[in-house]
Structure 1
Amino acid sequence: MSKIGFIGLGIMGRPMAGHLLDAGHELTTVKRGALDATLASKGVRELENPKAVAEASDIVITIVPDTPDVEEVLFGEGGVVEGLKPGTLVIDMSSIAPIATQKFAERIHAAGGEYVDAPVSGGEGGAINAALTIMVGATPEGFERAKPVLEVMGKTITHIGGHGAGQTCKVANQIVVALTIEAVAEGLLFASKAGADVAKVRESLLGGLAQSKILDVHGERMIKRTFDPGFRIRLHQKDLNLALEGARSLNLALPGTANAQQLFQACAAQGGGDWDHAGILRALESLASHEVGQK
């Protein structure tokens, strides 16, 4: 079993860390307020800073909100790189910029470590059920070292390519997810405004070509109006910003992505940055002056 440093015990990180503990790994983390009681009971040790976590670990896993957060954890004062031992495996499971990821990999390798970018998809449910899809950018050797640990947390682990390729795949994933959530919201809004029973519409659509996990999970959220976050709108906004910035650098038009980003922005303007991303429905409802399920 490995000594693992796990930095980022949020909605996704908590259950992911729990699975590693259940598999027998020894975990340390950075002290940030009150430690989750379940993780504490399983023996997670809290240390002063990322440097101390790295010194105590053979593998360091990070899953934090954005590119600057990863940079701070890895290279800021008291960062991981200061405590890195030769051969330490650093696995970043955050969703961040692919080009920055390549630069981070170069710096970790120069310090004697091995870097893997391994962003995830599957939301809170996937994290809880150890059923995440994990998209990996790494050297072949790095992937083989990381794979046994990733298999504890995920169900589908794919080596996409070299450093940054995992993050590129995650950006593509977030484009597809955003546009599909928008499509589900528009379909249910149309059905509701036309007077149909949206629950029965969703049930029917789940049996046809429109079937998707998003129609299943997020469609139900929309109908039940349960917008507590599994994945926050503000984080999806960040991911779509990465997509649009990348598109500009590639001289590429992504009109659907831009439209979804504007709808997320409309939600944020209503104080909904921390709504689940299924809350994109609320922006569309505002435009229609109609709430799904109204008669």
Structure 2
Amino acid sequence: MSSIAFIGLGIMGSPMAVHLAGAGHDVTGYNRTPEKTKPLVDAGGRAAKSIAEAVEGAEVICVMVPDSPDVRAVLAGEGGVFDHARRGALVIDFSSIRPDVTAQLARQARERGLRLLDAPVSGGEAGARNAALSIMVGGEPADFAAAKPIFDVLGKTVVHVGPSGSGQTVKAANQLIVAANIQALAEAVVFLAAYGVDTAAALEVLGGGLAGSTVLQQKKQNMLTHSFEPGFRIELHHKDLGIVTAAAREAGVVIPLGALVAQLMAAAKAAGDGGLDHSGLLRGVERLSGRADT
């Protein structure tokens, strides 16, 4: 069993930290909003009042925060992980950030005698709560092997995909595919409703054929009931599509569908839907079709 610091106990981080505590690890959590440490404490973990307190003596340091600036602040900022982690500690960044930022932070970590893995996840809140995440990992193979028992507590599909930054590159591709699927599903739902079809029945049969997908299964109920409590917020997916479009441009790769869905995600955010689950893209299709209730 490992002594683990877990920084960032939000929608995803909280259930992940709870699973690690439930597996017998000694988990200390830190979150800027202290009350969010309660589920971890209830599961047998401890709450820290600062990053420094959380990482003191920790063998493994897990991070799950929203964006590149947040990860920089947590790891390399004043009073952050790099200032207080013990030499040789393994840092696992589960956040979804820019690949180039990950590569820079990995170099800084090595200079401090630390080991950094980028390990973004897919599966949303349901995957985190069910310990069924897909985890794409970049970094040194030996560090991946050392972290594998941690990953196995949290995910069902865990793959080492290459050197530092590779996990973030794969996650960017994941977010492109997911966004395109959600947008297509939203358009299909509006199309079906326009013809008066029993939409629930239609989605059931579509889910059994080639049109079936994890997105359809996980997001159809949100769309059928217009319930968009966030499992993964539009504002975060907007951020991720910014990452993939920028990275594609740098690589000289053309992603026309990606560019379009990035604009549709941006429009949803601009319309005030940023705090909704990304299945709320349905509202954008309804607005464009003149069928929105609000």
**TM-score, length of structure 2 as denominator length:** 0.96
Does residue 1:108 correspond to 2:103, yes or no?
Answer: no
Deviation, structure 1 residue 31: 5.0
Shift of 1:269: 2.0
User: In 2, are the aligned partners of 1:95 and 1:119 still within 8 Å (CA)?
Assistant: yes
Please list, as runs of the form range in 1=range in 2, the aligned pairs for 1:79-94 lying within 5 A after superposition: 79-94=80-95
User: Matched residues in 2 for 1:47 and 1:187: separation?
Assistant: 47
Q: Say yes or no: does 1:219 pair with 2:225.
A: no
Amino acid at match of 2:20: L
Q: Quick one: distance in 1 between partners of 2:87 and 2:72?
A: 20
Residue 95 of structure 1: CA displacement? 0.2
Q: Which runs of 5+ in 2 are unaligned?
A: none
Instruction: Using the TM superposition, give the Cα deviation of residue 251 of structure 1 relative to its aligned residue in structure 2, in angstroms.
Output: 1.8
Q: Secondary structure at the match of 2:272?
A: coil
Instruction: Name the CA distance, whole Å, in 2 between partners of 1:9 and 1:244.
Output: 28
Correspondence list, 1:15-26, <5 A:
15-26=15-26
**2:162 equivalent to 1:193:** no
Q: Which moved more, 1:236-245 or 1:43-52?
A: 43-52
Q: Which residue is equivalent to 2:59?
A: 58
Match of 1:248?
A: 249
Alignment coverage as a number of residue pairs: 292
C-alpha separation in 1, matches of 2:46 and 2:71: 21
SS in 2 for 1:270: helix
Aligned partners of 1:89 and 1:115 also within 8 Å: yes
After TM superposition, what 4+ stretches of structure 1 lie above 3 angstroms from structure 2? none
Looking at structure 1, the residues matched to 189 and 43 of structure 2 have their Cα atoms a distance apart, in angstroms, of 43
**TM norm structure 1:** 0.96
What percentage of residue pairs aligned between the two structures are identical?
46
Contact 2:57 2:86 in 1 (8 A): no
C-alpha separation in 1, matches of 2:92 and 2:285? 38
Deviation at 1:30, TM superposition (A): 2.3
Matched, 1:166 2:164: no
Question: What is the CA–CA distance in structure 1 between the aligned matches of 2:27 and 2:149, rounded to whole Å?
Answer: 16
- CA distance in structure 1 between the aligned counterparts of 2:37 and 2:86, rounded to whole angstroms: 28
Map 1:18-167 onto structure 2 (within 5 A): 18-30=18-30, 32=32, 33-167=34-168
Tell me by how many angstroms 1:52 deviates: 2.7
Task: Give deviations 1:70-114, integer Å, cap 9, x for gaps.
Answer: 000001111000112121000000000001101111110110011
- How far is the alpha carbon of 1:264 from its aligned partner? 1.5
- Once superposed, what is the RMSD of the aligned Cα atoms? 1.3
Alpha-carbon displacement from aligned partner over 1:33-57 (angstroms, at most 9, x marks no partner): 2144332223332223223322231
Secondary structure of the 1:101 match is helix
Asked if the contact 1:247/1:254 (under 8 Å) is kept, the reply is yes
**1:187 Cα deviation (Å)?**
1.1
Partner residue, 1:206 = 207
Give the secondary structure class of the aligned counterpart of 2:134.
strand
Give distance in 1, aligned partners of 2:230 and 2:263.
19
**Given that residues 136 and 167 in structure 2 are in contact (C-alpha distance below 8 angstroms), is that contact kept between their aligned partners in structure 1?**
yes
Code of the residue aligned with 1:99 in structure 2: it is D
Do the aligned partners of 1:193 and 1:290 also contact (CA within 8 Å) in 2? no
**Which amino acid letter does the alignment assign opposite residue 106 of structure 2?**
A
